[in-house]
Structure 1
Amino acid sequence: MNLDIVRNVALRVARAASDRKAQDVKVLDMRSVSPIADYFVICSCDSMVHLRAVTRAVLEEVKGDDLPVKRREGADEARWVLIDLGDVIVHVFHHAEREFYDLDSLWADAPLVDWQAELGTAP
């Protein structure tokens, strides 16, 4: 898959999550640290309703893309939803689960992508 397309999907997913008021939205460039995926998008939500809304927004954003949803983990009551787009993996967390699993520290060697600057949406 074309890396520009993959990166664009990661950026769009981050924006979709942010537009639904997800907090601490991060895009990690995983290419140099893991063969799992090219990018991780990680974000936090305040409540189960919020988590479901962010998940729906992400799924709506990628509907019809060249990166179809390969797998989705986490049902309606899950406090961590993982959306596997192949080259992009999206983690939508409830705050407590994000703190507990601490993927941010686990993958601290992965470069952060300034997705807001790249999309021209920086505050």
Structure 2
Amino acid sequence: MTKIKEPANKRFEESYTGSKVSSKDMVEVITEALLSKKGQDVTVMDVSELTTLTDYFVVAHGNSDVQIKALADAVEDDLREKMGERAWKKEGFNTRSWIILDYVNVVIHVMSKEKREYYSIERMWNDAKITKVEDKPAS
């Protein structure tokens, strides 16, 4: 289970994804998948009020190209198995330093720490509602 650090009165906004699956529900599955493979600094950015491109960006980084691929694979597998969703577009599986999975209303960026620091997506979208996601401690 994940623990999302955000104001208690605010959860992800419901949005239309073109299917019966809400963007909010997709984000929950995505963050669980990333955490299951030890994704680092999992961050959700609600950009729905800033752009018409997508509702959410989910950003995480891995410690190696193998982990980056494993993170992206986990997201793809879980969205397909749990929600019947397939990526509209995906890029970066050859180089594995920055993989992008585009599900139209949710775009996932899985990258190396160096790429993340250099391109700083969070800083570029600093007006977005940003939520840091942490793994819940085992009880």
The question of a shared fold, defined as TM-score above 0.5 by the shorter chain, is answered with yes
Alpha-carbon deviation of 1:30? Answer: 1.0
Structure-2 residue corresponding to 1:99: 117
Distance 1:66 1:75 in 2: 21
Give the direction of change, closer, same or farther, for the CA distance of 1:93–1:114 in structure 2 (3 Å limit): closer
Query: Which structure carries more helix by proportion?
Result: 1
Question: In structure 1, which of residues 2, 11, 14 is the aligned counterpart of residue 31 of structure 2?
Answer: 14
Distance 1:115 1:37 in 2: 19
Displaced runs of 4 or more, over 6 A: none
Structure-2 residue corresponding to 1:108: 126
Alpha-carbon deviation of 1:19? Answer: 1.1
Give the direction of change, closer, same or farther, for the CA distance of 1:4–1:59 in structure 2 (3 Å limit): closer
* Greater C-alpha Rg: 2
Alignment partner of 1:57 is 2:74: yes
Identify which range, 14-23 or 62-71, moves more after superposition.
Answer: 62-71
Alpha-carbon deviation of 1:115? Answer: 4.9
Which blocks of at least 5 consecutive residues in structure 1 are unaligned? none
Percent identity of paired positions between Structure 1 and Structure 2: 25
Q: What letter matches 2:99 in structure 1?
A: V
Distance 1:94 1:114 in 2: 18
Alpha-carbon deviation of 1:93? Answer: 0.7
Give the direction of change, closer, same or farther, for the CA distance of 1:19–1:90 in structure 2 (3 Å limit): same
Alignment partner of 1:76 is 2:132: no
- The two structures have a TM-score, normalised by structure 1, of 0.86
Distance 2:132 2:62 in 1: 20
Alpha-carbon deviation of 1:113? Answer: 3.4
Which blocks of at least 5 consecutive residues in structure 2 are unaligned? 1-15
